[in-house]
Chains A and B, each alone.
Chain A
């Protein structure tokens, strides 16, 4: 049981480039989330989804887009990367209300 898998694990981009981060979960969870973690800032919610075909904005959504075309996948896109988006990105999923979120091991993204 792989749980939550994030790809890629590391990436370096140049300012203005675009990329997509993939999150896949094999637990049949309804809810999925994207966070960023920065030193001294803790985990901040970017976007989330409460089911296939749905997405919603979190605390820091600007500069990011998401899609949930399949229940098991949640994609995070950066259309035009900026140095301020250098961070570690975590995906999480959970079964439903009053259930814990389960996290992947993160994608470390550097934007030069």
Chain B
């Protein structure tokens, strides 16, 4: 069935190290992917997005990689800071499917000082 999932439910990272959060998707028709960060008591916050015609996109301290061959998405956070501690969600969208964003279950990132 259609699904967007994450390999690791919890990721502990030392402050200053780089973080990598992985996500697998099953629908090859997905053409737009988004990473969100959610802090406790808050709504999901947009981090970065990528369309299926790209393999890589960079933002401030974040990079998203898309491997369509193996249906894999990753979020890299450089020089992880305490403020990066949160739950991270990947989401896929198929514009032809009627604007229905499908979310993965989330990965909790804990930054150790």
CB-nearest residue of chain A to B42: A105
Give the interface size bracket for B toward A: 20 to 34
B89:A42 contact, CB within 8 angstroms: yes
Write out, one digit per residue, whether chain A residues 70-96 have a CB within 8 A of any chain B CB (1) or not (0): 000000000000000000001010000
Q: What is the chain B residue whose CB lies nearest that of A99?
A: B49
Residue of B nearest to A90 (CB): B43
Across the interface, do A98 and B32 meet the contact criterion of CB distance under 8 Å? yes
CB-based contact A100/B95 at 8 Å? no
Q: Pick the contact of A43 from B32, B46, B89 — CB < 8 Å?
A: B89
- Contact present for A42 and B46 (CB under 8 Å): no
User: Is B41 interfacial (CB 8 A cutoff)?
Assistant: yes
Selecting from B11-19, B61-69, B72-80, B97-105, the interface stretch reads B97-105
A61 at the binding interface (Cβ < 8 Å): no
- Minimum CB–CB distance for B32 against chain A, Å: 5
CB distance from A93 to the nearest CB of B (A): 11
Q: Does B28 contact A (CB under 8 A)?
A: no
Q: Tell yes or no: A34 within 8 A of B by CB.
A: no
Q: Determine if B95 and A103 form an interchain contact, defined as CB atoms under 8 angstroms apart.
A: no
Task: Give the 4 A-B CB pairs with smallest separation, nearest first.
Answer: A103-B43, A43-B103, A100-B46, A105-B43
